[in-house]
């Protein structure tokens, strides 16, 4: 694979430490970069300041290092890069593809109630478009992307299609299934979708390898890339690790931080989730062995 231009990344949010589930995405993205003779970057996604845990960023980098996963350049912090997100939002505003939104969550819920629909069963409710044609005197709270305006102006198909290296052909009608999504939140914070798209492009990311829980965001990100005139990376989403209760391991449901006393055991568990055989010797040999078999491993089938 020599000669393939490859820049990959792992982009943890420092809302807690790495756990067995997040190590799967970290390991897969590292192995994929190594197997392609590419570069592997680490980006700390700390724009949601109220949810970040003090010191978790440094500890995550230590956890990764203990597992032999060290970035090829200095890690970056999204909180240092907000000027890039501001520039991107201005670009979209200038195109006329955004609008300010004055709706509170309660007001959005009320629209669903008035339509006789139960929002609890539609937790990722499609924004009903209330402010698309004006704020009706309400103060602006957030900025939304006018999805249909982008699709129309760029002559994009209504249903976006893309390929996921592990999950195969994918498609989503963003206007119908997601709606006009938020770029800058009512609390003034940058939305994940905008920040991730801007950073992936700015850092020249060619391959995104991340957990399957983020799969549903991909179409929104591809649409934003097109709206901003940015390239679309190649995507692969890694399998989720389920806890004993049958739910995916996550910080929200109390997943244990990785045990740094035994990084090989943690790596072996992550490797198993990726369909790789455990390695009994040491971290360095394990990473070497898995890199060697990665591109023909079950993870990519």
Residues binding ligand GLU (CB under 6 A) = 11-13, 45, 196, 210, 214
Token look-up 């045990």 returns 259
User: Measured from the CB of residue 15, what is the shortest distance to ligand GLU in angstroms?
Assistant: 8
Residue 120: name the closest of 131, 108, 129, 128 by CA: 108
| Beta carbon nearer to ligand GLU, 13 or 206 | 13
| Beta carbon nearer to ligand GLU, 34 or 43 | 43
Residues whose CB is less than 8 angstroms from the CB of residue 121 and which lie 6 or more positions away in sequence, other chains included: none
User: Measured from the CB of residue 44, what is the shortest distance to ligand GLU in angstroms?
Assistant: 9
Write phi, then psi, for 179 (nearest 5 degrees).
Answer: 85, -170
| Beta carbon nearer to ligand GLU, 45 or 57 | 45
User: Measured from the CB of residue 250, what is the shortest distance to ligand GLU in angstroms?
Assistant: 9
| Euclidean distance between CA atoms 145 and 150, whole angstroms | 8
Alpha-carbon distances of 263 from 153, 244, 259, 281, rounded to whole Å: 50, 21, 7, 12
Alpha helices in 67-133 (DSSP H): 82-95, 105-114
User: Measured from the CB of residue 291, what is the shortest distance to ligand GLU in angstroms?
Assistant: 21
| Beta carbon nearer to ligand GLU, 36 or 207 | 207
User: Measured from the CB of residue 214, what is the shortest distance to ligand GLU in angstroms?
Assistant: 5
| Beta carbon nearer to ligand GLU, 34 or 210 | 210
For residue 184, what is the enclosing H or E element? strand 182-184
């Amino acid at each position: 694979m020599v000669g393939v231009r490859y820049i990959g990344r792992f982009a943890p949010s420092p809302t807690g430490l790495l756990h067995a589930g997040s190590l799967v995405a970290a390991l897969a993205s590292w192995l994929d970069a190594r197997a392609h003779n590419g570069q592997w970057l680490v980006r700390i996604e700390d724009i949601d300041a109220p949810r970040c845990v003090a010191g978790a960023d440094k500890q995550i980098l230590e956890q990764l290092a203990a597992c032999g996963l060290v970035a090829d350049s200095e890690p970056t912090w999204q909180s240092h890069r907000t000027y890039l997100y501001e520039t991107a939002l201005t670009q979209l505003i200038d195109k006329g593809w955004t609008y300010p939104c004055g709706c509170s969550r309660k007001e959005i819920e009320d629209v669903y109630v008035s339509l006789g629909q139960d929002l609890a069963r539609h937790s990722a409710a499609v924004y009903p478009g209330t402010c698309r044609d004006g704020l009706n005197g309400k103060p602006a709270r957030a900025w939304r992307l006018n999805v249909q305006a982008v699709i129309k102006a760029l002559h994009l198909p209504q249903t976006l299609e893309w390929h996921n290296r592990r999950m195969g052909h994918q498609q989503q009608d963003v206007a119908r299934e997601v709606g006009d999504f938020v770029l800058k939140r009512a609390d003034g914070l940058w939305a994940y979708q905008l920040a991730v798209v801007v950073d992936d492009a700015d850092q020249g990311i060619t391959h995104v390898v991340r957990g399957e829980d983020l799969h549903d965001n991909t179409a929104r990100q591809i649409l934003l890339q097109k709206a901003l005139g940015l390239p679309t990376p190649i995507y692969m989403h890694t399998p989720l690790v389920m806890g004993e209760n049958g739910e995916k391991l996550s910080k929200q449901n109390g997943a244990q931080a990785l045990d740094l006393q035994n990084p090989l055991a943690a790596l072996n568990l992550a490797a198993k989730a990726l369909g790789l055989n455990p390695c009994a010797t040491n971290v360095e040999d394990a990473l070497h062995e898995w890199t060697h078999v990665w591109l023909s491993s079950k993870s990519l089938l």
